[in-house]
């Protein structure tokens, strides 16, 4: 008998809003709206994302910003920082990927992990899920919800079951029991139109769907009926599709005790440079961009970057670049919690001369 798979669906909680709150703690606990300038209700853009506090007042992504302002004039409105969200997403995905046998990122803030073998090395599914949640909270200052199930569709439904900071484990023997009372709209991909058609057939819950004659379902929906029926009957077995494309190579270190001892910090940066350079060589890659990450006490995080005119696989520009970028922070009286080094703009290494000195060009890369 084939053993049941263990699939995680990891979903970051209110991702854009949570990143903004991490960068600016004064935004925590308020109705935070990320999107267009509301202009006292006359703005013409839309809500990109919002905090859970704002959602309780009826706000949601895609909503006209004018409507959002009418519902929540007391809210705090900030423009989106897509570059920052993208970088944080990369950091998070790199952290959780290392725990997966197979990894599939499906959006900026969610991913599937097949951890069938991996969880055995970490004490079981729940123990591994808690490890991931703890690491993201302590190292990235973010929370996530994780659904655990033997297939992707159930894992996704489970991750939404106790948001935020949820953890729901649906064992293989109990999948149909878990799904049965839930409305069919909980199935990813079942929109309002499909839901209404199902309801007209007397199918309101996933349990109703599981009992419906598959031949009749096929006549009504065609091939999608096979997918719907399989999900409802716990028979969906879609593989976690490896789609991870290496966009960067990075390494970070969190100090056991926050420090402003820069000789100690410099030694750690030197070690991180060695780590990323060795990985660069192992992957046979060249890079164009060097990024320094510095996080102070209280999760106040800054990133600074320099870009090369041409890609290179030389170590010298990394050393020079990190030294130059770190200079800005040496006189900051605050203590450092974490430092990181990242190489991006990766491409396959090509034979050629090492890049010459003095070819670093500064460019935007700042947060907050």
Omega before residue 368 within 30° of 0, cis = yes
- Residue written as token pair 């926050």: 258
* Pairing relationship of beta strands 336-344 and 248-259 according to DSSP bridges: antiparallel
User: Do 179-232 and 248-362 come out as alike in CATH topology?
Assistant: no
Closest CA to 19 of 103, 100, 91: 91
Query: Over the stretch 22-81, which tens digit does the pLDDT of each residue have?
Result: 999 999 999 999 998 999 988 888 899 999 999 999 999 999 999 999 999 999 999 999
- Residue indicated by tokens 């006209």: 64
Three-state SS at 317: helix
Domain 248-362 has CATH 3.30.1490.100: yes
Helices 15-23 + 82-97 axis angle, to 10: 100
3-state SS class at 110: strand
The CATH number fitting domain 179-232, selected from 1.10.150.20, 3.30.70.1520, 3.40.30.10, 3.40.50.1820:
1.10.150.20
Contacts of 104 (CB under 8 A, 6+ apart): 111, 112, 113, 240, 241, 242, 243, 244
Active-site residue 110, yes or no?
A: yes
Contact 343, 249 (CB under 8 A): yes
Residue 160: both structure tokens together: 């939404």
Q: How many CB atoms lie within 10 A of CB 366?
A: 10
pLDDT tens by residue, the chain, 368 residues = 456 899 999 999 999 999 999 999 999 999 999 998 999 988 888 899 999 999 999 999 999 999 999 999 999 999 999 888 988 998 899 899 999 999 999 999 999 999 999 999 999 999 999 999 999 999 999 999 999 999 999 999 999 999 999 999 999 999 999 999 999 999 988 988 999 999 999 999 999 999 999 899 888 888 888 889 999 999 999 999 987 677 788 888 889 899 999 999 999 999 999 999 998 998 889 999 999 999 999 888 888 999 998 899 999 999 999 999 999 999 999 999 999 999 988 888 764 444 434 444 443 344 44
Distances (CA, A) of 113 to 146, 169, 228, 313: 10, 14, 22, 31
110, 140, 236, 252: the catalytic one is 110
**Which helix (H) or strand (E) segment is 336 a member of?**
strand 336-344
Apex CA 277: angle with CA 276 and CA 278, to 5°?
90
Domain regions of the chain by residue span = 179-232, 248-362
- The token duo for 201 is 């057939």
* DSSP annotation of 205: B
Is the CA virtual torsion 297, 323, 341, 252 positive or negative?
negative
% of the chain beyond a pLDDT of 70: 94
Q: By C-alpha distance, which of 209, 174, 176 is closest to 190? A: 209
148-180 pLDDT, tens digit per residue, is 999 999 999 999 999 999 999 999 999 999 999
What is the SS3 assignment for 169?
A: strand
What is the rounded distance in angstroms from the CA atom of residue 55 to the CA atom of residue 33? 9
What is the rounded distance in angstroms from the CA atom of residue 127 to the CA atom of residue 45?
43
Residue with tokens 């096929």: 218
Which pTM does this prediction carry?
0.77
């Amino acid at each position: 008998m084939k053993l049941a798979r263990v699939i995680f669906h990891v979903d970051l909680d209110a991702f854009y809003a949570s990143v903004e709150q991490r960068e600016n703690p004064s935004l925590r606990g308020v109705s935070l709206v990320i999107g267009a300038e509301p202009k006292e209700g006359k703005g013409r853009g839309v809500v990109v994302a919002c905090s859970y506090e704002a959602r309780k007042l009826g706000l949601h992504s895609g909503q006209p910003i004018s409507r959002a302002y009418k519902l929540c004039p007391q809210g705090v409105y900030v423009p989106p920082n897509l570059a920052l969200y993208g970088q944080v997403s990369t950091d998070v995905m790199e952290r959780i990927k290392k725990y997966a046998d197979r990894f599939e990122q499906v959006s900026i803030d969610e991913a599937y992990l097949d951890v069938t073998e991996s969880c055995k090395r970490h004490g079981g599914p729940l123990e591994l899920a808690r490890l991931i949640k703890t690491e993201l909270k302590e190292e990235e200052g973010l929370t996530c919800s994780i659904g655990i199930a033997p297939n992707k569709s159930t894992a996704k439904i489970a991750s939404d079951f106790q948001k935020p900071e949820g953890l729901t484990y649906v064992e293989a023997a109990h999948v149909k029991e878990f799904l049965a009372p839930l409305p069919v709209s909980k199935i990813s991909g079942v929109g309002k139109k499909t839901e209404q058609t199902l309801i007209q057939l007397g199918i309101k819950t996933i349990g109703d769907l599981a009992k419906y004659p598959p031949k009749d379902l096929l006549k009504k929906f065609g091939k999608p009926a096979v997918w719907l029926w399989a999900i409802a009957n716990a028979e969906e077995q879609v593989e976690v599709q490896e789609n991870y494309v290496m966009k960067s190579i990075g390494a970070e270190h969190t100090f056991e005790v926050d420090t402003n001892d820069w000789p100690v910090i410099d030694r750690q940066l030197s070690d991180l440079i060695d780590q990323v350079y060795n990985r660069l060589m192992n992957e046979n890659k060249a890079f164009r961009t060097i990024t320094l990450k510095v996080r102070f006490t209280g999760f106040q995080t800054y990133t600074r970057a320099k870009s090369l005119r041409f890609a290179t696989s030389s170590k010298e520009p990394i050393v020079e670049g990190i030294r130059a970028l770190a200079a800005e922070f040496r006189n900051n009286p605050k203590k450092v919690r974490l430092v990181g080094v990242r190489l991006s703009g990766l491409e396959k290494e090509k034979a050629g001369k090492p890049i010459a000195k003095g070819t670093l060009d500064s460019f935007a890369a700042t947060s907050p």
